[in-house]
């Protein structure tokens, strides 16, 4: 009996080896730097979202009258903090956005800058880059397109506006952080016209198609493709001696102003990562002036091995009408490239490559039959992540 | 050496050794011999192989084929709707002069249909760090080989040295994208000593265990990406989309088991205590073209401590045996997440996972206590007449994820009662057994700060299963016929168990075994 008691005592001692997890819990005190742009009476109630980038959950809090939010019980990890706020003053809607990546491995006190955003008449309404699969299971990418929408109440002209793609796919730190007032692009395609050739009515849109064909019925198409782009307004056409890119006779071609990685066709990354913007390049409808601006703003970058140099173009942020920060997925959001005054958030197609899904802007309201899309300059808030493509359908 | 050749050789050696043993017509081996062996020899229930030297009575052996079938809607979420399992099994106990030997070989082949939310071979392995996909209706094909061997050698009149090895290896694969192929290896080695003083026997053995599960997930459909979820605790996960993925579970366990045995006349009692420490590392990666691990990420680690206290007591009085088995074990786990980020480092800008923190985020405790009483009335020293078995099993489980707080716990009580009777008609033995199990839930709750589809689709339905009460009647019928040459008997055995749960779910389990004893 004595030995049995000794046994039990030893086991009791050994059981003290079992311990509870010693987990860490931190606080994050975030002060929103409203500056002079936001009157103090509007600084309360701004929604701040702290998003755990690894585990895809988020917590929300509203700012105090002093513009401060306190998050308690924060587990260690990589986070993004986004601020979304709006108010009406002097008859105008003012949108406030802010974004900062936070590595929380201790309690932190940090300041988040904001931008008071301007909204433009033209917005990117739909961006379809994922492509789809053929009945044979092959990838089909010719159906990529961008839809530009007139979100204003007056007719606007798209002549001379350009669509650009950022230099990086967002898989590493942004190389161009030393140019905070510019975005650096590898592709510039401009809508032709003299300034009054291509009107877009209020609540109307244009389609910029990679290949302007009816992808569902065309012999070169794919019966499983979700879109018919036969009536696209413009087409990305890349001339090569081999005529590898089919030139649709029904849609005028966009003007190729810059195509650093010139291939046989324009192709946006099917996994995401192609951040795009609608810009108004100085010179606008005048091709020579436009190209002169581009030539004067070329900037070189060596590849990682240093064996070759490529030239890209830097475009001032002030010339950007609308931009969408498209990333691969949530973990890659830390490699955001566009400045927050253009896009305070980020988005991606959560169904991934070849899913036949697109990014589409959310509807804010419908005024007298005209759809007004949400444009807070925060794509995390403004876009649906992975929905059926619906070109020229406004709902 | 080719695995199949190795196993065939091993099996052949074992069978030859068994056949070489001298036949003893007075000690005919029957189906009940194995139950009597375990009841009369408590050392077999310990992990100390030196205890083989204490085996009294006949040393039975068997070769059999089994078919197990299971079907019904009373099941865990990650369990298939039905299971067909084929088995070949052989084991033998024998003595060669002073050396006591044990050997077994088992081949298992099973098909589990309509399996959901699982990319691991066994989703119920007590680790929270599983991997799942949401494409359901999988069929899992498993093929496993198990070889066990043990021996004990007396060094002198008081001291016995023993050693045992167990080796289990197999492959499981699923037939629908994403298709995990799981290569599983389970290995243990157990050296032990036994020291005798008069009626007391003291045992001590060391245990080393190794577990390795190497998972390669492939998507056959061209250009297809599927989301895979890496679970970190109840309702907590990270995820990514990929067309292929690899995961490695690598566990080392070590500990010891000590025993005190008192044997005097008809009284035989063994008291033991075991402690086992384990550490399991989980690593993720993609396989590069050369099939080596590339961009390897450390996901998590799980540390476990198992404490087990047990007692087997047998009182044998002529043709009557009373056996009491009691054991209680507590198994605790501590889970650590490794927070890493893929970064371009160095002059070459190659991507590496950089560790930022190791966070202890998960804890779980399993308590299992069991008390079992067997009463056996013998026909003669080697055959049963009738028997009665009663068992009470208490199980308590609690797991917590810290920050956000995700908690679930429950405790269950399982009662079981069985009666069996054997009928002897010349060379034929008919045995029938009937009984039932009753499970009731004593308490249980789930409290999740964060809810998501994993909570809705997996945790809540699974909790309903785990805390559901059931009544399960069971019936067993076996027929044996004595043989005069080579083997002692040939037998066929059938088990049917039917579970009827309180919420209307049910499951039926049928088992056929056919083989020979010798």
Q: Does this complex have an ipTM over 0.85?
A: no
Q: Cα–Cα distance between A54 and A80 in angstroms, integer?
A: 11
d(CA A178, CA A60): 32
Looking at the structure, tell me whether residues A46 and A129 fall in a common domain. Answer: no
Pairwise pLDDT comparison (B274 vs A308), residue with the higher score = B274
pLDDT the model gives residue B22: 47
Examine residue A152 and state whether it is found in any structural domain, yes or no.
Answer: yes
SS (H, E, C) A272-287: CCCCEEEEECCCCCCH
Cα–Cα distance for residue pair B50/B61, rounded to 1 Å: 19
Nearest 5°: phi and psi at B83? -140, 135
pLDDT of B161? 95
Cα(A142)–Cα(A128) distance, rounded to whole angstroms? 11
CA distance B401 to A21: 9
Beta bridge partners, B249, equal B213, B282
**Does A21 contact B334 at a Cβ distance shorter than 8 Å?**
yes
Cα A379 to chain centroid, rounded: 6
- Give the pLDDT band of residue B279 (cuts 50, 70, 90): very high
Mean pLDDT of B336-350: 80
Q: Which helix (H) or strand (E) holds A51?
A: strand A47-52
Interface contact flag, A11 B273, Cβ < 8 Å? yes
Whether B292 shows a pLDDT value over 60: the answer reads no
Provide mean pLDDT across the span A281-285: 86
Rounded Cα gap, residues B191 and B204, in angstroms: 9
Whether residue A140 sits in one domain with residue A99: no
The tens digit of pLDDT for each residue in B498-515 reads: 999 988 899 999 999 999
Nearest to A224 by CA among A144, A147, A139: A139
Write the burial class of residue A314 (CB in 10 Å: 0-12 exposed, 13-18 middle, 19+ buried).
middle
d(C-alpha B413, C-alpha B518), whole Å: 38
Rounded Cα–Cα distance for residues A202 and A157 (Å)? 11
Percentage of residues in chain A having pLDDT higher than 90: 50
B291: left (phi over 0), alpha (psi -120 to 50) or beta: left
Residue B416 has pLDDT above 90, yes or no: yes
Model confidence at B417: pLDDT above 80? yes
A227 with A317, same domain: the answer is yes
- What is residue A174's predicted lDDT score, i.e. its pLDDT? 84
pLDDT at B346: 73
Tell whether the model's pLDDT for residue A5 goes beyond 50.
yes
Question: Cβ of B232 and A55 within 8 Å?
Answer: yes
- Give me the number of domains chain B comprises: 1
- Counted domains in chain A: 2
The DSSP string of B401-424 is ETTTTEEEEEEEEEEEEEEEEEEE
The answer to whether B334 contacts chain A (CB < 8 Å) is yes
Position B10 pLDDT exceeds 60: no
Determine the longest span between alpha carbons in chain A, in angstroms. Answer: 103
Spatial CA neighbour of B475 closest among B419, B515, B422, B425: B419
Q: B59: pLDDT confidence band, cut at 50, 70 and 90?
A: confident
Q: What pLDDT sits at residue A89?
A: 67
Contacts of B404 in chain A (CB under 8 A): 57, 73, 75
**Would A109 be classed as within a structural domain?**
yes
Task: Quote the CA–CA distance of A277 and A298 in Å, as a whole number.
Answer: 18
pLDDT at residue A121 in the model: 85
Q: Who's near A171: CB < 8 A, 6+ residues apart?
A: A273, A328, A332, A335
Q: Tens digit of pLDDT for each residue in A355-389?
A: 999 999 999 889 888 999 998 888 988 999 999 99
Read off the pLDDT of each residue in A333-353 and give the average, rounded to a whole number: 87
> For A1-15, A161-175, A280-294, which range has the lowest pLDDT when averaged over its residues?
A1-15
Share of chain B above pLDDT 90, in %: 66
Cα of A307 vs its chain's centroid, Å: 31
Q: In what order do the strands lie in the sheet with A77-89?
A: A57-62, A47-52, A77-89, A92-104, A115-117
Average pLDDT over every residue of A335-355:
88
CB B297 within 8 A of CB B283: yes
Residue B155 dihedral angles phi and psi, to the nearest 5°:
-85, -40
Last residue of some domain: A102, A117, A132? A117
Which of B241, B259, B406, B450 is the mutation pick for testing A, counting most A CBs within 10 A? B241
Question: A46 and A127, same structural domain?
Answer: no
Neighbours of A35 (CB within 10 A): 10
Task: Kindly state whether residues A249 and A336 are assigned to the same domain.
Answer: yes
- How much is the pLDDT for B470? 95
- CB contacts of A168 in chain B (<8 Å) are none
d(CA A63, CA B19): 83
Tell me which chain A residues have a C-beta less than 8 angstroms from the C-beta of B238.
54-56
In a domain, A165, yes or no: yes
Of the partner residues A17, A20, A352, the one whose CB lies closest to the CB of residue B241: A352
Chain A: residue whose CA lies nearest to B346 = A304
Q: What's chain A's average pLDDT?
A: 87
Which pLDDT value is given to residue A20?
A: 77
Residue B260 sits at the chain A interface (C-beta within 8 Å): yes
- By C-alpha distance, the chain A residue nearest B402 is A23
Provide the pLDDT for residue A87: 78
* pLDDT score, position B1: 44
Q: Determine how β-strand A309-316 pairs with β-strand A298-302.
A: antiparallel
**Chain B contact set for A140 (CB, 8 A):** none
A16: confidence class by pLDDT, cuts 50, 70, 90: low
- Does the structure show a pLDDT above 90 at B427? no
Nearest-angstrom CA–CA distance, A170 and B502: 54
Q: What value does the mean pLDDT take over residues B144-167? A: 94
Q: Which helix (H) or strand (E) holds B400?
A: strand B383-401
At residue B24 the predicted structure's pLDDT band, cuts being 50, 70 and 90, is very low
Confidence of residue B23 (pLDDT cuts 50, 70, 90): very low
Partner-chain contact A10 B273, CB within 8 Å: yes
A112 with A139, same domain?
A: no
Is A269 within the bounds of a domain? yes
Asked if A81 and A130 sit in the same domain, the reply is: no
Give a yes or no: residue A4 inside a domain.
no
Regarding whether A160 and A68 lie in a shared domain, the answer is no
**Residue A392 maps to a domain:** no
Residues 6+ positions from B419 with CB-CB distance below 8 Å: B386, B387, B388, B389, B433, B434, B435
Residues of A with CB below 8 A from B332's CB? Answer: 18
Give the whole-angstrom CA distance, residue B223 versus residue A144: 17
Alpha helices (runs of H) in chain A, residue ranges in sequence order: 2-15, 287-296, 379-382
DSSP H or E stretch at residue A376: none
Distance (Å) from the C-alpha of residue A138 to the closest C-alpha of chain B? Answer: 7
Backbone φ and ψ of B20, nearest 5°? -75, -20
Longest dimension (CA), chain B: 86
Q: Tokens representing A267?
A: 């192709």
Separation of alpha carbons B11 and B90, rounded Å: 8
> According to the model, what pLDDT value does residue A91 have?
57
pLDDT digits (tens, 9 = 90+) for A223-235: 999 999 999 999 9
State pLDDT tens for residues A17-31. Answer: 556 788 899 999 999
Q: How many CB pairs under 8 A join A and B?
A: 108
For A55, the closest of B238, B351, B365 (CB atoms) is: B238
Task: Judge whether B349 is closer than 8 Å to chain A, CB to CB.
Answer: yes
Local structure of B456: helix, strand or coil: helix
What is the model's pLDDT at position A305? Answer: 62
Q: How confident is the model at residue B290, as a pLDDT?
A: 41
The position carrying tokens 């189906």 is: B31
Asked if A327 and A170 count as a contact pair (C-beta separation under 8 A), the reply is yes
Which of A95, A84, A85 lies closest to A119, judged by CA? A95
Any residues with CB less than 8 A from the CB of B328 and at least 6 apart, and which?
Answer: B308, B309, B310, B367, B368, B369, B370
Question: Residue B23: which domain range?
Answer: 3-517
Instruction: Please indicate, yes or no, whether residues A271 and A191 belong to a single structural domain of this protein.
Output: yes
With CA atoms as reference, the chain A residue closest to B352 would be A172
Return all residues near A9 (Cβ < 8 A) that are at least 6 apart. none
A342-to-A122, A291, A376, B86 alpha-carbon distances in Å: 14, 24, 10, 64
- Of the candidates B186, B181, B302, the one whose C-alpha atom is nearest the C-alpha of residue B246 is B181
Q: Closest partner residue to B305 among A18, A173, A353, by Cβ?
A: A18
Higher pLDDT, B185 or A88: B185
Using alpha carbons, select from A237, A189, A229 the residue that is nearest to residue A206: A229
Claim to verify: residue A195 and residue A318 sit in the same structural domain: yes
**In this predicted structure, what is the pLDDT of residue B7?**
52
- pLDDT for position B140: 93
Task: Compute the average pLDDT of residues A318-327.
Answer: 91
Residues A182 and A253 grouped into a single domain: yes
The predicted pLDDT at position B293 comes to 45
Of A117, A145, A171, the position where a domain reaches its end is: A117
Q: Are residues A180 and A275 in the same domain?
A: yes
Across B343-364, average pLDDT: 83
Q: Where do the H-state alpha helices sit in B129-201? A: none
Provide the 3-class DSSP secondary structure of residue B368: strand
β-bridge mates for residue A310, sequence order: A301
Q: Provide the token pair at B426.
A: 């010349």
Show the tokens assigned to B126: 């007590």
Does residue A11 form part of some domain? no
Confidence (pLDDT) at B56: 81
Q: In the predicted model, is pLDDT for residue A331 greater than 80?
A: no
In the predicted structure, residue B239 carries a pLDDT above the cut 60? yes
The residues pairing with A315 across neighbouring beta strands, listed in sequence order, are: A183
What does the DSSP 8-state code read for residue A288? H
Does the pLDDT of residue B241 top 80, yes or no?
A: no
Among the ranges given (A301-315, B77-91, B122-136, B264-278), the one the predictor scored with the smallest mean pLDDT:
A301-315
Average per-residue pLDDT for chain B: 88
Q: Which of A51, A84, A117 is the last residue of a domain?
A: A117
Q: Which of A112-121, A156-165, A199-208, B485-494 has the lowest mean pLDDT?
A: A112-121
Q: Mean per-residue pLDDT for A151-178?
A: 88
Inter-chain CB proximity A103 and B236 less than 8 Å: no
Indicate whether A5 belongs to any domain: no
Predicted confidence at residue A201, as pLDDT, reads: 92
Q: Do B349 and A172 touch (CB under 8 A)?
A: yes
B425 lies within 8 A of chain A by CB: no
- CA–CA distance, B160 with B51 (Å, rounded to integer): 8
DSSP state of B517: E
d(CA B471, CA B463): 18
CB contact under 8 A, B403 and A25: yes
Substitution target in B227, B274, B337, B367 with the highest count of A β-carbons within 10 Å is B337
Average pLDDT on A78-83 reads: 90
Q: Is B422 exposed, middle or buried (0-12, 13-18, 19+ CB in 10 A)?
A: buried
Structure tokens given for A308: 């070759």
- Res. B280 pLDDT band, cuts 50 70 90: very high
Where in the sequence is the domain holding A353, given as residue range(s)? 122-387
Mean pLDDT of A38-67: 88
pLDDT of A15 = 55
Q: What percent of chain B has pLDDT over 70?
A: 92
Q: Supply the pLDDT for residue A220.
A: 87
Report chain A residues whose CB lies below 8 A from the CB of B258: 7
């Amino acid at each position: 009996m004595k030995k049995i008691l000794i046994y039990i005592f030893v086991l009791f001692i050994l059981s003290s080896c079992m311990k509870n997890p010693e987990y860490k819990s931190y606080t994050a005190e975030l002060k929103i730097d409203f500056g002079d742009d936001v009157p103090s009476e509007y600084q309360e109630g701004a929604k701040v979202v702290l998003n755990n980038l690894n585990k895809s959950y988020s917590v929300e809090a509203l700012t105090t009258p002093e513009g401060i939010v306190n998050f308690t019980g924060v587990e260690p990890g990589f986070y993004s903090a986004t601020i979304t706020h709006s108010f009406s003053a002097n008859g105008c809607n003012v949108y406030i956005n802010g974004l900062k990546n936070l590595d929380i491995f201790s309690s932190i006190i940090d300041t988040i800058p904001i931008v008071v955003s301007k909204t433009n008449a033209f917005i990117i309404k739909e961006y379809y880059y994922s492509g789809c699969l053929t009945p044979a299971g092959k990838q089909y990418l010719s159906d990529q397109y961008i839809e530009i929408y007139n979100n204003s109440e007056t007719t606007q002209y798209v002549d001379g506006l350009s669509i650009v793609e950022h230099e990086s796919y967002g898989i590493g730190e942004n190389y161009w952080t030393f140019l905070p007032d510019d975005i650096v692009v590898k592709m510039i395609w401009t809508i032709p016209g003299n300034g009054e050739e291509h009107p877009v009515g209020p609540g109307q849109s244009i389609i910029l198609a990679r290949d302007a064909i009816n992808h569902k019925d065309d012999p070169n198409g794919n019966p499983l493709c979700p879109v018919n782009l036969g009536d696209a307004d413009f087409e990305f056409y890349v001339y090569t001696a081999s005529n590898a890119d089919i030139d649709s006779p029904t849609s005028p071609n966009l003007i190729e102003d810059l195509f650093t990685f010139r291939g046989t066709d324009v192709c946006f990354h099917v996994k995401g990562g192609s951040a795009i913007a609608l810009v108004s390049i100085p010179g606008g409808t005048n091709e020579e002036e436009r190209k002169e601006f581009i030539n004067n703003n070329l900037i070189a970058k060596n590849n990682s091995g240093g064996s070759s140099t490529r030239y890209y173009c830097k475009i001032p942020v002030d010339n950007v009408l609308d931009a969408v920060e498209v990333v691969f997925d949530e973990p890659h959001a830390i490699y955001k490239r566009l400045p927050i005054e253009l896009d305070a958030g980020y988005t991606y197609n959560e169904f991934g490559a070849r899913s036949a899904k697109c990014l589409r802007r959310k509807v804010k309201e419908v005024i007298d039959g005209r759809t007004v899309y949400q444009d807070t300059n925060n794509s995390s808030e403004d876009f649906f992540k992975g929905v059926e493509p619906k070109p020229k359908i406004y709902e | 050496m080719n695995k199949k050749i190795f196993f065939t050789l091993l099996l052949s050696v074992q069978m030859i050794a068994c056949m070489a043993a001298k036949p003893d017509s007075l000690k005919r081996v029957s189906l009940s011999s194995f139950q009597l062996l375990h009841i009369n020899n408590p050392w077999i229930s310990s992990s100390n192989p030196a205890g083989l030297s204490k085996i009294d009575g006949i040393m039975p052996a068997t070769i059999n084929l089994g078919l197990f079938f299971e079907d019904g809607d009373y099941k865990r979420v990650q369990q298939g709707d039905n299971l067909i399992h084929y088995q070949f099994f052989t084991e033998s106990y024998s003595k060669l002069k002073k050396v006591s030997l044990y050997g077994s070989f088992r081949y298992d082949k099973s098909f589990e249909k309509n399996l959901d939310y699982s990319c691991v071979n066994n989703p119920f392995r007590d680790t929270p760090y599983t991997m799942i996909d949401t494409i359901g209706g999988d069929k899992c094909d498993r093929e496993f080989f198990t070889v066990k061997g043990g021996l004990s050698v007396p060094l002198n009149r008081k001291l016995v040295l023993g050693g045992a090895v167990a080796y289990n290896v197999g492959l499981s694969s699923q037939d629908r994208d994403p298709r995990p192929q799981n290569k599983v290896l389970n290995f243990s080695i157990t050296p032990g000593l036994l020291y005798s003083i008069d009626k007391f026997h003291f045992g001590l053995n060391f245990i080393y265990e190794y577990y390795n599960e190497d998972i390669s997930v492939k998507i056959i459909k061209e250009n297809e990406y599927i989301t895979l979820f890496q679970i970190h605790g109840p309702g907590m996960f990270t995820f990514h989309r990929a067309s292929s993925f690899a995961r490695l579970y690598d566990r080392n366990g070590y500990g010891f088991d000590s025993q005190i045995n008192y044997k005097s006349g008809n009284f035989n009692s063994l008291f033991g205590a075991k402690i086992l420490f384990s550490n399991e590392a989980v690593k993720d990666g993609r396989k590069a073209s050369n099939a080596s691990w590339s961009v390897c990420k450390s996901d998590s680690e799980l540390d476990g401590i198992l404490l087990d206290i047990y007692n087997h007591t047998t009182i044998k009085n002529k043709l009557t045996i009373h056996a009491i088995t009691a054991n209680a074990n507590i198994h605790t786990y501590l889970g650590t997440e490794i927070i890493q980020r893929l970064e371009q480092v160095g002059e070459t800008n190659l991507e590496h996972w950089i560790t930022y923190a190791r966070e202890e985020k998960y804890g779980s405790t399993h308590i299992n206590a069991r008390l079992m009483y067997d009463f056996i009335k013998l026909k003669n020293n080697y055959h049963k007449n009738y028997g009665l078995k009663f068992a009470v099993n208490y199980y308590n489980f609690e797991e917590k994820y810290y920050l956000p707080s995700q908690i679930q716990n429950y405790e269950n009580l399982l009662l079981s009662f069985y009666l069996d009777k054997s009928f002897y008609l010349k060379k034929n033995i008919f045995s029938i057994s009937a009984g039932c199990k009753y499970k009731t839930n004593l308490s249980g709750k789930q409290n999740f700060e964060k809810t998501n589809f994993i909570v809705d689709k997996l945790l809540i339905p699974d909790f309903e299963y785990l805390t559901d009460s059931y009544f399960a009647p069971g019936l067993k019928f076996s027929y044996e016929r004595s043989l005069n040459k080579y083997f002692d008997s040939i037998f066929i055995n059938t088990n049917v168990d039917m579970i009827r749960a309180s919420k209307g779910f049910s499951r039926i389990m049928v088992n056929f075994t056919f083989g020979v004893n010798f």
